[in-house]
């Protein structure tokens, strides 16, 4: 998913964000678990993409989070959730996530 | 091939996993569960009078044994009533499994009668929660819930079960294999070696021990570590009992209502060995001023606790038992004469318990006398307030799990049902519930449960006709503007207890209070003892909320 210059500008990421990739159990409450954690622990959450993967037992969630704001705590708290199977810091995927964000913004 | 309903699967799985007592209240949405429970003789049901009471009865069992305990509630108000007990278990890391009834699947989300979003509401106050969507998944869900509740950092787990999932019948080939027990990480060797070097090199180390040490069954190892290297130890409210109160290295509880010498010693500490603690604000005071000169070793099974509030110079992600086992061979035996003499000096300068605190009618005197009468085997529960802090300060605790108290959430109404639970778990041991007149009124209906179950709990009501700690804060921090903190009527608790069919004693105006006390403590069944306490008796010293622990006010040594 190549990103154009326009796409990057549209996503306007702040310089201090990073990307987390989660693998989670796919059930109706899991998004609430993730978003609830960020809300109640007052962590910043800039963006979220979620979709079922494989045979639908698991989901992939991409999070854009504040890299400066207690990132270590964010990762540890996410890893503690029973439905979270893996947490990876994927700063390397920033361009692709930004492109996806830009695309989301364009969809009418 | 077994052919069972969802409700029967739940009951069978509880039974198969060693649950022998369940407490709760039936209602429309969990009747199938109760119908299945009626068929088993292996599980005793204890009918509570309020779902919060059921939650705390289960907590009493869990806290006193260390094993997961189970409570049931129906949908809607049954579920909302039990939430406080779940939140309480969450903050104190208590293994609890709560199974709630829910409206049938077809009515979910329709604002049906007694429908609330139990799953959503319990999410932030449980370690994990489930909404069962089929009877088949209950086969693995129930054992998983029990394992989750009791493993790693323990905590409450909720399973919400729609009524038609309870009645749905499934056929299955065999019961699933028991869940593997969670792996306990031994802790990183390098961090342990680093911590050992820090301890060996320390001049003024202090052990800071909390509930996690008790959960890990590591009290004996903690004591060995303290003794091997002559390290003085402070305990959190949840950690009381790790070292016996009279142990020469015990500095008792730290924090807001610590002995003056304890908080002052921490000010001088150069290496703080924190284990199974979470640097709670009631323990640390203003965190930036907590042990300001100390390097920190932090042992916790929950990785997210390390560095959460205070950066750790050495962080060991492990249960306290394994961490201590790793540390002990590396720790040089020491006597630390100078440091321990400095602490003895602080304790001579600021004795914890001035003699006048033990005059007849004073709370400390009462608490110590009851301890004598109850004996070292006694299990002690408290409610929340002045009496709780007095018990924490003055009761001669000798063992872990002896004190059951609501630490993190500070829930008034905890004491009586928790005492009932402890008595159910240990029918042969004396159980004393220290309560206050404010706290007791928050779950007073459980007097009926204590009488019905004949659990021999002694409820000692320290009655100052007020919300004492609230009033104390109004005196100290709100210009003595007392408002809504004292009660306009005198409640006759002895008469109320008798109305529930309980023996009761009233020390108010008693000619021979000690004789009455002895008689009450010798009662074979449950009883209540009302003890009038002067409304002006305060909990001292006190660190004002948000202040540094060295700012202690209210006692004889305070320059205020």
- Give tens-digit pLDDT for B94-135: 999 999 999 999 999 999 999 999 999 999 999 999 999 999
For B117, the closest chain A residue by CA position comes to A29
Report the alpha-carbon distance of residue B346 to residue A16 in Å, rounded: 49
With CB atoms and an 8 Å threshold, state whether A80 touches B302.
yes
> What string of DSSP letters covers B259-307?
-HHHHHHHHH-SEEEEES----HHHHBSGGGSSTT-EEEEEESSGGGTT
Report the alpha-carbon distance of residue B560 to residue B541 in Å, rounded: 12
For A82, the closest chain B residue by CA position comes to B128
Distance from CA of A76 to the nearest CA of B (A): 5
Question: What pLDDT does residue B207 have?
Answer: 98
- Torsion angle defined by CA atoms of residues B10, B13, B14 and B18, in that order, rounded to the nearest 10 degrees: 170
Q: Which residues of chain B are at the A interface, by a Cβ-Cβ cutoff of 8 Å?
A: 119-120, 123-124, 127-129, 131, 148, 302-304, 307-308
Statement: residue A3 has pLDDT above 70: no
Confidence class of residue A15 from pLDDT cuts 50, 70 and 90? low
Whether domain B363-532 has CATH 3.40.50.970: the reply is yes
pLDDT per position as a tens digit, B329-345 = 999 999 999 999 999 99
pLDDT per position as a tens digit, B6-34 = 999 999 999 999 999 999 999 999 999 99
**Whole-prediction pTM value?**
0.95
Percent of chain B with pLDDT strictly greater than 90: 94
Of residues B557 and A106, which shows the higher confidence score? A106
Q: Where in chain B is the domain with CATH 3.40.50.970?
A: 3-171, 363-532
For A31, the closest chain B residue by CA position comes to B120
Whether domain B3-171 has CATH 3.40.50.970: the reply is yes
Statement: residue B315 has pLDDT above 80: yes
- Any chain B CB within 8 A of the CB of A72? yes
Distance from CA of B520 to the nearest CA of A (A): 47
Dihedral sign of CA atoms B382, B387, B392, B395 in order: negative
- Contacts A–B by Cβ distance under 8 A: 29
- Any chain B CB within 8 A of the CB of A106? no
Nearest C-alpha neighbor of B124 from the set A20, A42, A63, A52: A42
Q: What is the mean pLDDT of residues B76-102?
A: 98
Residue B100 pairs with which residues in a beta bridge? B73, B160
Q: What is the 3-state secondary structure (H, E, C) of B99-160?
A: EEEECCHHHCCCCCCCCCCHHHHHHHHCCEEEECCCHHHHHHHHHHHHHHHHCCCCCEEEEE
Return the residue in B162, B304, B311, B312 with the most chain A beta carbons within 10 A, the one to mutate for interface testing. B304
Q: What is the mean pLDDT of residues B67-77?
A: 98
Of residues B343 and B354, which shows the higher confidence score? B343
Confidence class of residue B361 from pLDDT cuts 50, 70 and 90? confident
Statement: residue A13 has pLDDT above 70: no
For residues B153-188, b (16+ Cβ closer than 10 Å) or e, as one string?
bbbbbbbbbbbbbbbbebeeeeeeeeeeeeeeeebb
- Torsion angle defined by CA atoms of residues B186, B311, B152 and B93, in that order, rounded to the nearest 10 degrees: 150
Statement: residue B280 has pLDDT above 70: yes
What is the average pLDDT score of chain B? 96
Q: What is the mean pLDDT of residues A12-17?
A: 64
Question: What pLDDT does residue B430 have?
Answer: 97
- Determine the CATH number of domain A5-106: 3.30.70.260
pLDDT per position as a tens digit, B266-277 = 999 999 999 999
Query: Which chain A residues have a beta carbon less than 8 Å from that of B124?
Result: 36, 40
Of residues B180 and B74, which shows the higher confidence score? B74
With CB atoms and an 8 Å threshold, state whether B123 touches A79.
no
Strand, coil or helix: B215: helix
With CB atoms and an 8 Å threshold, state whether A32 touches B120.
yes
Report the alpha-carbon distance of residue B87 to residue A38 in Å, rounded: 19
Q: Cβ(B221)–Cβ(B320) under 8 Å?
A: yes
CA distances from residue B253 to B35, B183, B207, B236, B434 in whole angstroms, order as listed: 47, 31, 12, 5, 18
- Any chain B CB within 8 A of the CB of A76? yes
Distance from CA of B104 to the nearest CA of A (A): 17
Statement: residue A5 has pLDDT above 50: no
For B304, the closest chain A residue by CA position comes to A76
Question: What pLDDT does residue B163 have?
Answer: 98
CATH superfamily of B189-349: TPP-binding domain (3.40.50.1220)
Question: What pLDDT does residue B183 have?
Answer: 57
Q: What is the 3-state secondary structure (H, E, C) of B13-40?
A: HHHHCCCCEEEECCCHHHHHHHHHHCCC
Instruction: Considering only the beta carbons, identify the residue of A28, A33, A80 that sits closest to B123.
Output: A33
């Amino acid at each position: 998913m190549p990103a154009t210059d326009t796409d990057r500008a549209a996503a306007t990421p702040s310089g201090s964000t990073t990307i987390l990739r989660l693998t989670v159990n796919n059930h109706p409450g899991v998004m609430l678990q993730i978003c609830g954690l960020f809300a109640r622990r007052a962590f910043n959450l800039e963006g979220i993409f979620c979709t079922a993967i494989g045979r639908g037992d698991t989901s992939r969630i991409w999070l854009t989070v504040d890299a400066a704001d207690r990132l270590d705590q964010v990762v540890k708290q996410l890893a503690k959730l029973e439905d979270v199977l893996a947490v990876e810091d994927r700063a390397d995927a920033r361009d692709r996530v930004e492109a996806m964000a830009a695309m989301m913004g364009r969809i009418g | 091939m077994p052919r069972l309903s969802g409700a029967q699967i739940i009951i069978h799985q509880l039974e198969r996993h060693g649950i022998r007592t369940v407490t709760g209240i039936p209602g429309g949405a969990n009747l199938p569960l109760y119908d299945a429970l009626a068929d088993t003789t292996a599980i005793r049901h204890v009918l509570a009078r309020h779902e919060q009471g059921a939650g705390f009865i289960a907590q009493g069992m869990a806290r006193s044994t260390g094993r997961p305990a189970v409570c049931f509630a129906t949908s809607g108000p049954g579920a909302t009533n039990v939430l406080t007990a779940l939140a309480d278990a969450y903050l104190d890391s208590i293994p609890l499994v709560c199974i709630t009834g829910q409206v049938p699947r077809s009515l979910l989300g329709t604002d049906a009668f007694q429908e609330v979003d139990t799953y959503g509401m319990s999410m932030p106050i449980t370690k994990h929660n489930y909404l069962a969507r089929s009877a088949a998944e209950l086969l693995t869900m129930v054992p998983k819930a029990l394992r989750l509740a009791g493993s790693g950092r323990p905590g409450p787990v909720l399973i919400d079960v729609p009524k038609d999932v309870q009645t749905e019948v499934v056929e299955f080939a065999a019961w699933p294999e028991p869940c593997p027990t969670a792996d306990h990480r031994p802790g990183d060797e390098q961090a342990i070696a680093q911590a050992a070097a820090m301890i060996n090199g320390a001049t003024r180390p202090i052990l800071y021990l909390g509930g996690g040490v008790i959960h890990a069954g590591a009290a004996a190892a903690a004591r060995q570590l303290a003794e091997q290297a002559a390290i003085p130890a402070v305990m959190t409210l949840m950690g009381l009992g790790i070292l016996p109160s009279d142990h020469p290295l015990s500095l008792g509880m730290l924090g807001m209502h610590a002995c003056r010498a304890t908080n002052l010693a921490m000010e001088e500490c150069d290496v703080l060995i924190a284990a199974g603690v979470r640097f709670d604000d009631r323990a640390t005071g203003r965190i930036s001023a907590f042990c300001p000169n100390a390097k920190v070793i932090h042992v916790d099974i929950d990785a997210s606790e390390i560095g959460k509030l205070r950066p750790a110079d050495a962080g060991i992600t492990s249960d306290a038992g394994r961490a201590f086992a790793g540390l002990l061979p590396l720790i040089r035996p020491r006597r630390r004469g100078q440091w321990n003499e400095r602490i003895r000096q602080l304790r001579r300068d600021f004795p914890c318990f001035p003699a006048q605190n033990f005059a007849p009618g004073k709370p400390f005197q009462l608490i110590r006398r009851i301890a004598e009468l109850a004996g070292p085997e006694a299990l002690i529960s408290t409610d929340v307030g002045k009496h709780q802090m007095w018990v924490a300060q003055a009761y001669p605790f000798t063992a872990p799990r002896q004190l059951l108290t609501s630490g993190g959430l500070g829930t008034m109404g905890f004491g009586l049902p928790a005492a009932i639970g402890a008595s159910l778990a240990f029918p042969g041991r004396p159980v004393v519930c220290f309560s206050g007149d404010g706290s007791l009124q928050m779950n007073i209906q459980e007097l009926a449960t204590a009488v019905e179950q004949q659990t021999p709990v002694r409820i000692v009501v320290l009655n100052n006709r007020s919300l004492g700690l609230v009033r104390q804060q109004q005196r100290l921090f709100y210009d003595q503007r007392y408002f809504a903190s004292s009660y306009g009527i005198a409640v006759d608790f002895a008469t109320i207890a008798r109305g529930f069919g309980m023996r009761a004693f009233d020390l108010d105006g008693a000619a021979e209070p000690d004789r009455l006390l002895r008689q009450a403590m010798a009662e074979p069944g449950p009883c209540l003892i009302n003890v009038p306490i002067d409304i002006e008796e305060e909990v001292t010293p006190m660190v004002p909320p948000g202040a540094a622990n060295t700012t202690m006010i209210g006692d004889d040594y305070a320059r205020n």
